[in-house]
Structure 1
Amino acid sequence: MKIRRLPIEIIKEYKKLDTSSITDALDKQGIVGGLLGIKGVVNDTRACGQAFTVHYVPCGINKGTVGDFLDDVQEGDVVVIDNSGREYCTVWGDIMSQVAKEKRIAGTVIDGVCRDVKTIREIKYPIFTKGIYMMTGKDRVEADAINIPVGISGVKVCPGDLIVADENGVVCIPISSVKETLEIAKSIEATEVHIVNAVKGGKTLKEARAEMGYHTLQTKAID
């Protein structure tokens, strides 16, 4: 499946936003994008880029490989791995992290676990997972497809969707909603800045929030 490429200017704008504002903007549109339970492994790292998806299944009698898909990932993409939340084996470690860093891949998101975190933290590679465990995925799981729609924490992630990950977690923005979500998120952040400044100027928090409609910023409009 060929990934439709977003303008680099849009991705640069998303890099200025945090995931909280983005999920509020998605809520405003009735879109679920937060990937529950997936957290950063390395402090003070974030990732923003289009999704390159990888799907894993348990190995059968004939063992497949854990995948050499990194050769196909473009600079700036985020690798999104659907390992069905498996915690008994990993699909990412130090070799993958070092190669990804060399290729300027933006980061990795795994519905599952990773290992070799000492090296990952030393090179400050942005990786977001459901945990850490040392057992290899070799002979336990295999990559059976790349760049197909996958399920991450119950959210559909398609190739080319925009992934943003930071200290708060990971969010997926469907490629069809990227532009509208960006404008809404920027408006929400501007409103929140205005509220803080209004309080600094002497208003109560209740007054400032009421003035700016804070409690309905993320509420989906009724058609």
Structure 2
Amino acid sequence: MDQPKNDATLFAQMKERLFSAVISDALDQVGVRDRVMRADLRPLDPSMVICGRAFTILSADVYEKNRDPYEMEIEAIDSLTPHSVAVWSTNGSKRTGVWGELLSTAARARGAVGAIIDGYIRDAVQIMKMGFPVFCTGLRPVDSAGRSLVIDYNCTVQVGDVLVSPGDIVFADYDGVVVIPKDVEDEVIRLAMEKVRRESATREELLKGAYLKDVYAKYGVL
């Protein structure tokens, strides 16, 4: 694969050719075995795919209404950049739906390509109608004001039991969410693209009737 000149080209190629499982395998190959998020982070729609750079957001539960409960949340969303993915740590909160239709609309306007919310969201039907990719752990219609507060952003967070740093590549599809650390992204993407080529060759030979044992010996993939 020719090296893409920018993130837009890279992410388009990744969405076209790759999927979460092959990226997970490539991470295993370079010895990074802890960058696949928990299985309960699910897309609102099975067709949703996300590929972009992490823009991290951190919130915490509160038990009274702050004077300006949305101040840092608004600041964070307005700071999203093209090809970014909002990756939101709620510290495991179950009190509120921190993401909704208006945040999805604002994020898309800034050029963001999706959101990974380790917590609940609301306005799910409206978000699906928008076609904005969102992964979350569940749905709850209550507002965040007086229940949770954004306390920081563009910081290292733990989402889906994975440590995510700003700028890491996030790839999410129906199988799950995978995070590629910046320091290994070139090698991981190269290995994933190569494995996809070998998988395609394996599939073609199996369809022609070849034995799995023989094809595996030739291409080394399952």
Q: Which amino acid aligns with 1:44?
A: S
Separation in structure 1 between the aligned mates of residue 14 and residue 207 of structure 2, nearest angstrom: 28
Q: Is the 8 A contact 1:87 1:131 kept in 2?
A: no
Aligned residues: 210
Q: Distance in 1 between matches of 2:106 and 2:65?
A: 27
Inter-partner Cα distance in structure 2 for 1:65 and 1:150 = 21
Unaligned runs of 5+ in 2: none
Instruction: Give the % identical residues.
Output: 26
Out of 91-100 and 107-116, give the one that drifted further.
91-100
Distance 1:106 1:142 in 2: 23
> Separation in 1 of the partners of 2:98 and 2:157?
16
Say which is worse superposed, 119-128 or 100-109, in terms of deviation: 100-109
> Are the counterparts in 2 of residues 85 and 130 from structure 1 also a CA contact under 8 Å?
no
8 Å CA contact retained: 1:45, 1:167: yes
Query: TM-score normalised to the size of structure 1?
Result: 0.88
User: What residue identity is the alignment partner of 2:41?
Assistant: I
Name the structure 2 match of 1:52: 55
Give structure 1 stretches of 5+ with no counterpart: 1-5, 216-223
**Corresponding residue to 1:35 among 9, 17, 37:** 37
CA contact 2:78–2:107 (8 Å) conserved in 1: no
- SS at 2:217's partner residue? helix
1:124 to 131, 138, 156: 131
Q: Is the 8 A contact 2:44 2:133 kept in 1?
A: yes
Match of 1:206? 213
Letter in 1 for 2:56: T
The 10-residue stretch of structure 1 (158-167 or 191-200) with the greater mean CA deviation from structure 2: 191-200
Q: Is the 8 A contact 2:53 2:170 kept in 1?
A: yes
What's the secondary structure of 2:96's corresponding residue? strand
**Structure 1 partner of 2:10:** 10
Give the Cα separation in 1 of the matches to 2:131 and 2:13: 23
Which SS does the other structure have where 1:192 is aligned?
helix
Deviation at 1:201, TM superposition (A): 3.1
SS of aligned partner of 2:45: coil
1:196 and 1:162 mapped to 2: Cα distance?
A: 28
1:182 counterpart letter in structure 2: I
TM (normalized to structure 2)?
0.88
Shift of 1:60: 5.5
Contact 2:46 2:173 in 1 (8 A): no
Q: Does 1:65 align with 2:69?
A: yes
**Which residue does the alignment assign to 1:218?**
none
Give distance in 2, aligned partners of 1:30 and 1:143.
33
